[in-house]
Chain A
């Protein structure tokens, strides 16, 4: 979380902004990170930075999505079910689900 806040603060500073009002992150189910602990860490650590006073955290969950090598379709799948739901193909490539990304900032 501290590395997320540092990245956000550096990005805001580059734009000459002094306050961050909102931080949006994208989190995939395969990132190894859960929304609740992320929120908890944000609440605990953001008060250490004046530029983050009153800032809110928005978490955008991303789906687990696979592309099938056989039928080339891209489908949303469940964790641990990576076969193609359309044609049953076993050779699929993950195209979404591992994200842990600082997406955007609302700054002033």
Chain B
């Protein structure tokens, strides 16, 4: 009993420290792990495609699916704040495309990928996940993908990797896109490669142009190699 006023403090009023050590995004991580095991089960290679808005994600995926599908079955889940314009455009390749509208959210999360992937009639060999155009927030959200592909278009300038190092650091592959515009954009390829070597030392780097087709064979080779790996086939 309290000596000053006679109240009886309840035992729980003494502050207690709880060591929790739980990732803040643990719910997203849980969904991501479920997605990853589902992709493994179906032999699907899931690629999280990341870049700023306008660096050519949709054009590259459209061209890639046109060239690979249906021999290598593809599908795409595309995230934008609004409209299904990208999904409409991607369907022209003949492969299924699912649009996710995030409203005001600046990234995709693992739960929405899980729902969209489950709604596909056929589980593809390659699932492209075109994230919301943004070089910041999508970096924090694991979608359960097998690899992260970050695009750097030559029109953005060679210093982008230095300005947004976090997203590049986690890239498995960096695609330098729109290489047909290298001269028009006065893009300094040598320093771009040096910057990438610094911020993304583990990433493969391939230069492509979805317009002229330059470099695409290397990108397709990389995809086929990763698909074989995901399916446990010799590669």
Ordered nearest first, which 3 A-B pairs have the shortest CB separation? A32-B140, A80-B165, A105-B18
A101 with B17: CB separation less than 8 A: no
**B122 CB–A CB distance under 8 Å:** no
**B14 CB–A CB distance under 8 Å:** yes
**B21 CB–A CB distance under 8 Å:** yes
Taken residue by residue from 1 to 31, chain A's Cβ proximity to chain B (1 for < 8 Å, 0 otherwise) reads as 0011001100110011110010001000111
Contact of A3 among B19, B20, B25, B137 (CB under 8 A): B25
B-chain residues with CB within 8 Å of residue A101 when the two chains form the complex: 21-24
Taken residue by residue from 85 to 101, chain A's Cβ proximity to chain B (1 for < 8 Å, 0 otherwise) reads as 00000101010000011
B-chain residues with CB within 8 Å of residue A81 when the two chains form the complex: 198
A105 with B17: CB separation less than 8 A: yes
Contact of B12 among A21, A29, A32, A108 (CB under 8 A): A108
Report the minimum CB–CB distance from B33 to chain A (whole Å): 16
**Size of interface on A: residues with Cβ below 8 Å to B:** 34
Report the minimum CB–CB distance from A39 to chain B (whole Å): 14
**B201 CB–A CB distance under 8 Å:** yes
**A79 CB–B CB distance under 8 Å:** yes
B22 with A7: CB separation less than 8 A: yes
Beta-carbon nearest neighbor of B22 in chain A: A102
B-chain residues with CB within 8 Å of residue A18 when the two chains form the complex: 12
List, sorted by A's number, 5 A–B pairs whose CB atoms are closer than 8 Å. Answer: A21-B15, A32-B140, A104-B20, A106-B15, A107-B18
**A33 CB–B CB distance under 8 Å:** yes
Report the minimum CB–CB distance from A97 to chain B (whole Å): 9
Contact of A32 among B19, B23, B162, B166 (CB under 8 A): B166
Residues of A within 8 A of B (CB): 3-4, 7-8, 11-12, 15-18, 21, 25, 29-33, 79-83, 90, 92, 94, 100-108
Taken residue by residue from 151 to 192, chain B's Cβ proximity to chain A (1 for < 8 Å, 0 otherwise) reads as 000000000001001100100000000000000000000000
A103 to B20, CA, bound (A): 5
Contact of A31 among B18, B22, B140, B162 (CB under 8 A): B140
A-chain residues with CB within 8 Å of residue B16 when the two chains form the complex: 15, 17, 106-108
**B27 CB–A CB distance under 8 Å:** yes
A3 with B24: CB separation less than 8 A: yes
Beta-carbon nearest neighbor of B167 in chain A: A32
Take A30-B166, A33-B140, A108-B13 as given contacts and tell me if A15 and B21 are in contact as well, using a CB distance cutoff of 8 Å: no
Report the minimum CB–CB distance from B22 to chain A (whole Å): 5
Take A18-B12, A79-B165, A80-B165 as given contacts and tell me if A103 and B25 are in contact as well, using a CB distance cutoff of 8 Å: no
B-chain residues with CB within 8 Å of residue A102 when the two chains form the complex: 20-24
Taken residue by residue from 1 to 41, chain B's Cβ proximity to chain A (1 for < 8 Å, 0 otherwise) reads as 00000000000111111111111111110000000000000
Beta-carbon nearest neighbor of A100 in chain B: B24
Report the minimum CB–CB distance from A24 to chain B (whole Å): 9
A18 to B23, CA, bound (A): 22
Take A30-B166, A32-B137, A33-B140 as given contacts and tell me if A106 and B17 are in contact as well, using a CB distance cutoff of 8 Å: yes
A106 to B169, CA, bound (A): 35
